[in-house]
A and B are shown apart, each in its own frame.
Chain A
Amino acid sequence: QQQVKQSPQSLIVQKGGIPIINCAYENTAFDYFPWYQQFPGKGPALLIAIRPDVSEKKEGRFTISFNKSAKQFSLHIMDSQPGDSATYFCAAGGNDYKLSFGAGTTVTVRA
C-alpha cells in the first residue's frame, strides 16, 4: 500500500503553462518531502525538498507548496519549458531514513 498518493498520472501543458502535481500522505511521522525529476533513460535526481516548518519553498521555476494540516503537498512548475518534460516523483521520509515514493507523474510540455 502506497504511503504517498500522487496525482495526476500524466499531464500535458503548453510552453509557459503551470503544471501542478499533487501528493498526499497519512503518516504524521514524515518530516521530509522531496521531489525527484527523472528524464527518459536516467535515474531520478533530487529537484527540490521541503520540511514541514515552512509552507512554501521556491527554487528557480519550481515551487513546493505544503499544507501540514491537510497532509498534502504539491509541485508547481512556473513558466514551463519543453526541457521540463520528465517524470516527477514526490516522496516522504521520516526518522527511519526510508523514503516512500509516489507513483510518479509524467509531464509533457509542448512547444
Chain B
Amino acid sequence: EAQVTQNPRYLITVTGKKLTVTCSQNMNHEYMSWYRQDPGLGLRQIYYSMNVEVTDKGDVPEGYKVSRKEKRNFPLILESPSPNQTSLYFCASRIRPGANVLTFGAGSRLTVL
C-alpha cells in the first residue's frame, strides 16, 4: 500500500531531551515536507525537501532540523525540545515538487513537558 509512515505516533518527552520523528514513504516521491498543526493556526510548514540532499526552511523552522540522505526517508529532529513545540506533526510527500497531490502521514502527537 502506498503510504507515508511516521513514528512514533505519540510521544511525551521533557524539555531539552533530543528526539527524532521518522518519516518514510514508499512511493518514490521526490518532494517531502514536515508540517505542524496547531488549533486555530492550521498546518504550517516546517521544512521541505525537493530531492535527496536538498532541504529548505518552511515558515516555522526554528528549533527543528531535517536531513534527506535517502529518497524515502525524511526525519525531523528536535535537538532541544521546548514546550512550545508541543504539537501534532505531519510528514507529507508528493511525486515531484510541482505535483498536485500531497500525501500525508497519520501524524505524530508530541508533548514536551
Write out the residue numbers on chain B whose beta carbons fall within 8 Å of the beta carbon of A104.
42-43
Q: How many A-B residue pairs have CB under 8 A?
A: 51
CB distance from B102 to the nearest CB of A (A): 7
CB distance from B5 to the nearest CB of A (A): 11
Tell me whether A89 and B97 are in contact in the complex, defined as CB-CB below 8 angstroms, given that A43-B104, A43-B107 are known contacts. Answer: no
B42 touches A9 (CB 8 A): no
Write out the residue numbers on chain B whose beta carbons fall within 8 Å of the beta carbon of A45.
103-104
Write out the residue numbers on chain A whose beta carbons fall within 8 Å of the beta carbon of B40.
9, 103
Q: Is the interface of A mostly helix, strand, loop or mixed?
A: loop
CB distance from B6 to the nearest CB of A (A): 9
- Residue of B58, B101, B107 near A98 (CB, 8 A) is B58
Q: Can you list 7 residue pairs at the A/B interface with Cβ under 8 Å? A: A6-B42, A34-B100, A34-B102, A43-B105, A97-B48, A101-B42, A103-B41
Question: Chain A interface (Cβ within 8 Å of chain B)?
Answer: 2, 6, 9, 32, 34, 36, 41-46, 49, 89, 95, 97-99, 101-104
